[in-house]
Structure 1
């Protein structure tokens, strides 16, 4: 699966919420993320869209 990866700030801008809201979604396991290394966190645009449509309930 090819994915367009977003930073947490880009994801927040995309769904019009504050950066800390994205952090809370991640912390609560509501939003799937990829951690390619170090403190880097990326969010797949498709996963973000699924989350917003209510299709994603928890991180795997």
Structure 2
């Protein structure tokens, strides 16, 4: 999963400049990796260390 996301981040970074002021969607993930953090997906949850949260759209969890 991490390799796939890293590939997506590289492809996103290689997109030509659009002139729009868009946020960097992969920046939090890259910061996590730079700090030695890892995550995994298991049984419908995404774990960041020992903390797990249900995967899916945010509106379904509110």
Give TM-score scaled by structure 1 length: 0.34
Give TM-score scaled by structure 2 length: 0.33
- The structure whose Rg is larger is 2
Higher relative contact order (CA 8 A, sep 6+): 1
Of Structure 1 and Structure 2, which has the larger fraction of its residues in helix? 1
